[in-house]
Amino acid sequence: MANTYHQVYIQVVFAVKYRDAVIANEWKSKLFGVIGNLINETGCKTIIVNGVEDHVHCFLGLKPAVSISELMKTVKAKSSKYINDNQLTKSRFEWQEGCGVFSYGHSQINAVHKYIVNQEEHHKKQIFREEYLEFLDKFEVPFEERYIFEDLI
């Protein structure tokens, strides 16, 4: 749309199904590159994608015409297809349903970028579940904990 100017920054956090620690160091940077390219293909702008063995953080500039839920549905479907097509895991790979989405102002870009860059170091001190619940509390997102994480039955 002509004359539409925007500055919308979001962080999206999503986990491997059952929070399995299967994203291996040998191929995670390639996966994060694939995810970044998938985001860019929608007209959004990837700032950084990083994570650890059981979850991913995507920080991006959102194009207003793009639905976050449709963006993540596409990113998760195509990235899991990439993992499965390349047989990067021993069993069929899936992302957990849903994600956390958090918005930021322009002045926060550097701090969020630094936080995401330092995921390996951060998760030596805090597990993903604690981190995720902390985000929900910090951003005052109402939730029912029983729906946050799908456990293996």
Q: pLDDT by residue (tens digit) across 79-127?
A: 999 999 999 999 999 999 999 999 999 999 999 999 999 999 999 999 9
What Rg, from alpha-carbon coordinates, does the chain have? 15
User: Cβ atoms within 10 A of the Cβ of 9, count?
Assistant: 18
* 6 band by pLDDT with thresholds 50, 70 and 90: confident
Query: Is it the case that residue 149 has pLDDT exceeding 80?
Result: no
User: What are residue 64's phi and psi, to 5 degrees?
Assistant: -55, -30
pLDDT of residue 1: 61
Higher-confidence residue of 6 and 63: namely: 63
**CATH dotted code for 9-147:** 3.30.70.1290
